[in-house]
Amino acid sequence: MQLNRSTDIALRVLMYTAAKDGRRTVDELAAALSVPRHHLAKVVQRLQRLGLLATARGRGGGVELEPGARRVGVGTVVRRLEADDEVVQCDDPPCPLRGQCQLRSAFRRAHDAFLRSLDEVSLADLVADDAGPVLLSIGWSSGDTGAR
């Protein structure tokens, strides 16, 4: 199973904002995560529409994790961001084995198991232990803790 680029970026943004309270600008996030600003802005907007990020415009504005979002399962996030496409495409063009082939259902079961395993991991779990300090250190110059 491979996640699309937007989902990958979204998970990194969520981890980064979950690691420390406070707002970050889109420019700060783009620089810290080595992601093009334009693409990151679209991802942030989508996460805001999904109720995972709060955004504020203007001076003192920025992006921060919504209260309660730390408890959201990674599987839930992935389901909301990824299209519900089949792992294998049997219909375009139509595969002659389609009627007797078990591959499609085997891949569907594997995909479902993948998402169920991600359901057991929350955003808080992703930033626990050693990950939190590493996330807090990326993108900031020495002496700047990122606190705003």
- Note the pLDDT tens digit of each residue in 65-120: 999 999 999 999 999 999 877 777 777 788 888 778 888 889 889 999 999 999 99
Domain-located, residue 78: yes
Domain-located, residue 147: no
Map tokens 């299209």 to a residue. Answer: 83
Pick the more confident residue, 53 or 138: 53
Residue 22 banded pLDDT, cuts 50, 70, 90: confident
Which pLDDT does position 23 carry in this prediction? Answer: 92
Distance CA 124, CA 38 (A): 27
Statement: the pTM of the whole predicted model exceeds 0.75:
yes
Domain-located, residue 52: yes
User: For position 37, which CATH number holds?
Assistant: 1.10.10.10
Domain-located, residue 145: no
Which pLDDT does position 143 carry in this prediction? Answer: 39
Domain-located, residue 16: yes
Distance CA 12, CA 18 (A): 10
Count of domains for the chain: 1
Give alpha helix (H) positions in the chain.
5-19, 26-33, 37-49, 74-81, 103-119, 123-126, 131-137
Which pLDDT does position 88 carry in this prediction? Answer: 75
Which pLDDT does position 42 carry in this prediction? Answer: 96
Domain-located, residue 143: no
Which pLDDT does position 144 carry in this prediction? Answer: 41
* pLDDT at position 146 over 50: no
SS3 state of residue 65: strand
Domain-located, residue 148: no
Map tokens 């001076």 to a residue. Answer: 59
Q: Name the residue range of residue 79's domain.
A: 5-137
* pLDDT at position 58 over 60: yes
Domain-located, residue 21: yes
Q: Which of 23-27, 69-73, 77-81, 132-136 has the lowest mean pLDDT?
A: 132-136
